[in-house]
Structure 1
Amino acid sequence: MKLNRHSGLAIILILFGGLILLNKLSLMFGFYHGNLLHHFMGWLIPIAMVGLGWYGITRGSKIAWVITILGAIILLGKMSGLIVIVLAAALIAFGVSMLKRSANRV
């Protein structure tokens, strides 16, 4: 495989994606010293806020919009770790595809 400017960028993307994945997965599979009920309730409350807010919106309540948006923001914060893992996997996949494209041109 001949290295050029694009293959260098691809290798950097793969390395960065791998480092991000290793960091996130080591935290995810590490020891969790918290209470399982606390972890479950941390997800349940925002999901319930979004669900009850949506129910309120369909019934015509104005305050339900605030509850739905607040629940969605909290839920997005809870999902940030998962979003970063997906982003790192996308970096690796894009880097590999760049390497394959570079190898096909030569």
Structure 2
Amino acid sequence: MRQEWYNAFYSLDLPQLDYLEADWFFSTNGDKLIYKKHQLRKLTLLKQDNPAAFQQTRREEYDVVTRELGGIASVSGIAEVSTPEGRTRISFIECWIKIKGSWKLQFQSFEASED
């Protein structure tokens, strides 16, 4: 499911993102908090302006740890995100919840990481 979420995000597949995220989804980078409704609206505007915005973005993950307890899972690790403008290394954590047999992303948090 994680790979499906990232594929949907980087391809700006908004219906798929909407499906894969819990209604109460939010994301934070340590400074800003963005809720699902606002995230989808911003991505809709980005897609209208530049449908290929993330086409050259690549993400590699390291030291990924997944812990599952019943219908809740947490995933943490380090990711290196490469764009034509450069590379960014981030630490991340995600929380997933199983709702009616399907995994949904509840939240994700990420911050720049030291090299």
Is TM > 0.5 for Structure 1 vs Structure 2?
Answer: no
Q: Normalising to structure 1: TM-score of the pair?
A: 0.24
For the pair shown, the structure with the greater C-alpha radius of gyration is 1
**More helix per residue: 1 or 2?**
1
Q: TM-score, normalised by structure 2?
A: 0.22
